[in-house]
Structure 1
Amino acid sequence: MNLELSAPDLAFRDEVRAFLSEHLPPELSAAGRRMTSVFVDKKYSLPWQKILHAKGWVAPSWPVEYGGCGWTEMQRYIFAAECARAGAPGLSPMGLRMVGPCIQRYGTPEQKAFFLPRILSGEDYWCQGYSEPGSGSDLASLQMRAVRDGDHYVLNGSKIWTTHAHWANRMFCLVRTNFEGKPQKGITFLLLEMDTPGIEVKPIITLAGEHEVNQVFFTDVRVPVSGRLGEENDGWTVAKYLLEFERGGGSAPGLKVSLDRLRAMAREERGDGVALLDDPAFRGRLAAAEIAVEAIEVTEHRVMTALSAGKNPGPASSMLKTQGTEAMQRIDELAIETAGYYAGVDQIEAREPGSNETPVGPEHSLVAMPRYLNNRAASIYGGSNEIQRDIMARLVLGL
């Protein structure tokens, strides 16, 4: 496989670099470099989304008729790589990468006309109502009830681990509308407003001391039937389509930036005057991580080839989700080793971009531990890696 960029792709890369150099504000770049999760705070991601929206670059993977860029798969990859290299904060994937493509595929003309422009502009900020207490990786066992009452569904139950529900004004949600037969056949996909009476959001503080996820309670919440995406009791079909995008590739550019940052950390001298990068055992573990990332990059290029031919990611998205999250966790572990005892210092205020708090220890140690703690969940959310391996065993190996 030839990974060298063509002349047009090199020209596009230079165009992206020039745009980022001119339009990415330093405070947003600082926030991107200090982010401790794949979900960046709204106060940093949304301003960057508005800048990209004004340029017409906010939804590289969308079809042109819905506001996409018309880029090739390679151009999208280059754009992601350059944004990662420049430290651009990630955009919330809930609208642009997840529910947006589902609305394009399953939405009515009215739903497309209303929701898609608002997703692009950032006017609507989405959260995902999937997991429930007792229904995480086994999502088909969800129990939140939705009873039809005329032109509305009445919802009762709760969702958990709901990322950014405290900031979102809309949720895409899976509910149970039929309790008989196969569990997957009784699920419906709804789009709802978070300020609907009966919705209560309660924070869950992570081990990193951050408020990213929540539990959301629903008590007699009335959602219009017009908010249903797809047919009643056929929400599992919509959900599976969405998960292909949630689990999809594109992680190699960010992983390579993390490796570069780790290598720079390891070059610094420790207290004994010896750089960790000079330690043969550490270099061996770093090389293993680099090999894993290179393998992911090659696989992502294979997926790009398939997508260019009009195919869906399919089970390859499960493979990339598994390998990408495990490589990220391996890099996080090496970063903890590199930071040493400074990684254990809790410095929430000093991590905030623009903070006047003086860090304890090297600046790179600020985010080593919170990244490690937050990214432990990466092999669970979006379908645990054990579930992904089961999918690969069935659909790829035929077991």
Structure 2
Amino acid sequence: MSESTADADDLRRRVHEFLDTHDPGSTEPLEFLRARFDAGFAWVHFPSGLGGLDAPRALQSVVDDAFTAVGAPRNQAERNVIGLGMAAPTILRFGTDEQKSRLLRPLWTGEDIWCQLFSEPGAGSDLAALGTRAVRDGDHWIVTGQKVWTSIAHEARWAILVARTDPGVPKHRGMTYFVCDMTAPGVEVRPLRQITGEAEFNEVFLTDVRIPDTDRLGDVGQGWAVAQTTLMNERVAIGGGAAPRESGMIGMVTALWREHPELRTAGLHDTLLRLWVETEAARLTGMRLRQQLAAGQPGPEGSAVKLAYARLNQEASGLELELLGEDGLRYDDWTMRRPTGVDFTRRSPGYRYLRAKGNSIEGGTSEILRNIVAERVLGLPGEIRVDKDVAWKDLPK
């Protein structure tokens, strides 16, 4: 028996022992989730005492499958993608022992929803140009500025925040990373209505928000390095999730093709076949990326996966409308809503087409991701950056 098989069998045994004393049918869901975290079955690759067992990341599916098989309560991960996929790995890497102990458990159980306060009206693709200020005031920081495109801010209890703490140094070196209480005085969330009619995004105004220094992640001035961990995990969370063959957008298009032969033409067949092959290649690449993740931190390869995900989603949703003809142009879902997540599968083709336009913007624009792939994966020369050694305060605003 191989070591990996033995480890998997041991994990299954431990899960069954846990279930013997925590009946998922009679235990209150939140109590069950807290107990699961404390037993190390949240993230098996995290340290013991922080939701993990110091086990290989690849064994997480063994644990998840065992809990799913008995109908155990879920932590509704789709509601907390930013917390689980971005904040948690950043806290684990840069947080203090106190921060990890205080923040990770309610994050995983879903008690605390998280959002991301990074982009600004003048600092989207160029995050390092951000202007939100954080000024030290004893044991606190006073934060003032505006953030934008903040998903789920209207539901969030906490936010990961990057702010400028030293305007006198070049832009990449003068930032610091914080955890921000979204219920603190001075935090205002306003909805941003999208082309779909919904408002899952927000703009967030920060006016003299007091953040204790104990809610700082990493050293003062280390914000860019900490943010890179978040961003690399973000791209994997958006485009690198596990998915079976013909799932997602391509699955809906192929189902439409099979069920309605009257829609088929030779040209559309060629387009569908190309998209199917490219989607399958992207899916297999995502599987390989997750195998690399099992051995350490995500790298720039996640940018390539997210880049492919965005393009393929947009092309497949466009093909779906083309197959439907004039029926695909109908869109009657203009009701202003505040969703807690994105669900392509239960919505209309028109919604899928419109919402997919955001895939090439959120989580890093496709233009910026191409630069990352070119420079950090392919080793091509970087773009000329004339502001590299100029203090932020001296840059044109």
Work out whether 1:146 is the aligned partner of 2:134. yes
Deviations 1:33-87 (A, max 9, x none): xxxxxxxxxxxxxx9999877766984575252214756537649969xx9xxxx
Q: Which residue pairs with 1:285 in the alignment?
A: 271
Distance 1:157 1:63 in 2: 34
Counterpart CA distance in 1 for 2:83 and 2:346 is: 32
Deviation at 1:178, TM superposition (A): 0.7
Structure 2, unmatched stretches of 5+, are 16-23, 69-75, 340-344, 381-397
The answer as to whether partners of 1:252 and 1:324 remain within 8 angstroms in 2 is no
Q: Does 1:375 align with 2:365?
A: no
Partner in structure 2 of residue 229 of structure 1? 217
Against the structure 1 CA distance between its residues 267 and 79, is the aligned structure 2 distance closer, same or farther, given a 3 Å change threshold?
A: farther
Q: Distance in 1 between matches of 2:320 and 2:346?
A: 8
> CA, structure 1 residues 305+131, in 2 after alignment: closer, same or farther (shift >3 Å)?
same
The answer to whether residue 80 in structure 2 is matched with residue 92 in structure 1 is yes
Name 2:383's counterpart in structure 1: none
C-alpha distance in 2, partners of 1:290/1:219? 48
SS for the counterpart of 2:200 is: strand
Instruction: Look up the match of 1:295.
Output: 281
Partner of 1:179: 167
The separation in 2 between residues aligned to 1:210 and 1:294, in whole angstroms, is 31
Change (3 A) 1:329 1:78: farther
Partner of 1:209: 197
Correspondent of 2:51 among 67, 73, 76: 67
Structure 1 gap segments, 5+ residues each = 1-5, 16-22, 24-46, 354-363
Residue of structure 2 aligned with 1:261, choices 252, 264, 271: 252
Give the equivalent residue in structure 2 for 1:340.
Answer: 325
Q: What is aligned with 2:262?
A: 275
Q: Within 1, Cα distance between the matches of 2:33 and 2:245?
A: 23
TM-score norm. by structure 2 comes to 0.76
Aligned runs of 1:315-330 on 2, under 5 Å?
315-330=300-315
The answer to whether structure 1 residue 391 and structure 2 residue 372 are counterparts is yes
In the superposition, relative to structure 1, how do residues 329 and 50 fare at CA in structure 2: closer, same or farther (>3 Å)?
farther
Structure 1 Cα separation of the partners of residues 111 and 171 of structure 2? 35
Distance 1:339 1:393, change over 3 A: same
Distance 1:103 1:75, change over 3 A: closer
- Aligned residue pairs total 344
Deviation per residue, 1:297-337 (Å, 9 max, x gap):
232233233233x2332121111111121111121112222
Report what 1:359 is aligned to: none
The corresponding residue for 1:113 is 101
SS at match of 1:238: helix
Q: Describe how 1:5-154 pairs up with structure 2 within 5 A.
A: 59-60=42-43, 62-63=45-46, 65=48, 66-68=50-52, 70=55, 72-73=57-58, 76=61, 90-154=78-142
* CA-CA distance at 1:250 after TM superposition: 2.6
Structure 2 residue aligned with 1:361 = none
Query: Equivalents in 2 of 1:173, 1:67: separation in Å?
Result: 24
Over the residues paired in the alignment, what is the CA RMSD in angstroms? 3.7
Larger displacement relative to structure 2 (327-336 or 212-221):
327-336
Question: Tell me, what secondary structure is at the counterpart of 2:86?
Answer: helix
Q: 1:251 to 1:292 in 2, by over 3 A?
A: farther
The SS at the match of 2:78 is: coil
